[in-house]
Structure 1
């Protein structure tokens, strides 16, 4: 962010282009997570796999593809092979084209995956994604958000705003490690879903009891994007978010990744 004028409470801060790109990543996946929670992104029962054999001379591009796949929530099955329940094909190929390594990337879909002796979808998820650890982190964030919602009416407005900003940062940190699997593959009463509901309640309480928080365009953008996403079809949502997410990820790629 950059300060455009004023000091103290009169200071004004605006998001830079780089900051907006990072914010778009968080906003986009947050809105998508709420769509998953609401059953608006059902699983088609296919697993999507991405494999790549990028030569050592393009190590920067190889590392970039690997890092992006992990950030998308894909899990490594073995060296150079990643799996996700959501279809990342177009996303991966667009970034691979940008890196000029699309010829070294292969994607395919299957209804059945066997890793060792694990064949069922439930056991596969348990093996590939550390959901128990993620659930514990979501529970901690959920308690933080519930406390804000409960105490907001009796707390100074500026303190409410500060607490909510801190909670948003904590929520984003957990969500960045969440593969955002379809609800069909998650445990009942999934902690991520409950934490996101607690987020909406805390955000509403902070907006009601803190003028500072209520007047922040940045803070209000979270629920605005979530509300809009929940009212859209899947096609409309992705048509709107696809370019923003792709541009944000391309902006992150290190210069070395695009060199031959």
Structure 2
């Protein structure tokens, strides 16, 4: 709900929270916690207050535009796979166990799948991100990377079968089916929605989108079942983002402007 000027109208926040089943007391406690954590400064009281995002918060909330660009480029068939698997292996001593755990988390966040203990793979070029994580965690000497076009997992070597073995594609697809169903309803409701229902739909759409993509390693189409439900769902979501970025209000919701800008670069869906 952050607007162009990095503020949130508390009255609108209470109204949307009520639509989502939260009480005013819950909202007050959440605001108090956000202020205590240094994420917002509150001007005024109750529903007449204005929450102003701090610089610390504003530096962390922009979406990963490179991730979005790759996502939609793949969905359009504009990012074909080169047939190379990118592999990383690490064996970090127990004395720096926290760094080992952080490295594993970084690899999984980048879409890597475990082949076996300490050995992960991705079809996407993640070499610079892996190197950056290793440097940041001071474990470069314990990390090995390589690329190959010849990968077998057990007795499976056909690339699409390998992908199906390593990543939970059924669960990823199911999450996108749920996203598509919500986006279908949202796209019908948004054009005529008044401000509070519109914001409520926006927040629910953001939650469904996050739920759908948090497991998604963005495998190239060559490794996915076709047609892929993820591409269909995200195209419909792109239409919702475009609709949400339209507003006659003096201050628009910043998040969906960011998304719409990326979508405008790559996707112009028509429904």
In the TM superposition, residue 222 of structure 1 has moved relative to its aligned partner by 1.2
Mapped contact 2:88–2:119 kept (Cα < 8 A)? yes
**1:82 is paired with a residue of what secondary structure?**
strand
* Alpha-carbon distance between aligned partners in 2 of 1:10 and 1:200, rounded to the nearest angstrom: 32
TM-superposed deviation, 1:161: 1.9
Q: Give the match for residue 219 of structure 1.
A: 256
Aligned partner of 2:59 among 20, 24, 37: 20
Q: Cα RMSD between the aligned structures?
A: 2.3
Instruction: Give the corresponding residue for 2:111.
Output: 73
Q: Assess, with a 3 A threshold, how the Cα gap between structure 1 residues 125 and 162 changes in structure 2: closer, same or farther.
A: same
Deviations 1:121-155 (A, max 9, x none): 11101100011111011010111111011122343
Residue 198 (structure 2) aligned to one of 146, 155, 160: 160
Q: In structure 2, what is the equivalent of residue 236 of structure 1?
A: none
Q: Matches of 1:140 and 1:63 in 2, distance apart? A: 32
* Structure 2 residue ranges without an equivalent (≥5): 1-38
Which fold has the larger relative contact order, with Cα–Cα distance below 8 Å and residues 6 or more apart in sequence?
Answer: 1
Secondary structure of 1:91's aligned partner: helix
Change (3 A) 1:163 1:95: same
Question: Quick one: distance in 2 between partners of 1:219 and 1:35?
Answer: 19
- Superposed CA offset, 1:214-237 (max 9, x none): 711232111113334x39xxxxxx
What is the rounded CA distance, in whole Å, between the counterparts of 2:229 and 2:249 in structure 1? Answer: 30
Aligned to 2:168: 130
Q: 1:115 Cα deviation (Å)?
A: 1.0
Residue deviations 1:83-133 (CA, integer Å, cap 9, x gap): 000111121111101111111110111111111111101110110001111
Change (3 A) 1:145 1:16: farther
By percentage of residues, which structure has more helix? 1
Tell me what 1:189 maps to: 227
In structure 2, what is the Cα distance between the partners aligned to 1:40 and 1:3? 43
User: 2:50 maps to which residue?
Assistant: 11
Decide whether the 8 Å contact of 2:245 with 2:260 is kept in 1: no
State the Cα deviation string for residues 146-177 of structure 1 (Å, max 9, x = none).
10111223432320121122211220222121
SS of alignment partner, residue 60 of structure 2 = helix
CA separation of 1:10 and 1:222: change in aligned 2, threshold 3 A:
farther
Spell out the pairing of 1:33-112 with structure 2 (5 A cutoff): 33-112=71-150
Structure 2 match to 1:255:
none
Q: Which residue of 2 aligns with 1:198?
A: 236
SS at match of 1:21: coil
Aligned residues: 228
- Residues in 1 aligned to 2:126 and 2:203: alpha-carbon distance in whole angstroms: 31
- Listed as ranges, the matches of 1:223-242 within 5 Å are 223-228=260-265, 230=266
Aligned-pair CA distance for 1:196: 0.9
Distance 2:232 2:175 in 1: 12
CA distance in 2 between partners of 1:59 and 1:96 (Å): 14
Question: Which is further off, 180-189 or 5-14?
Answer: 5-14
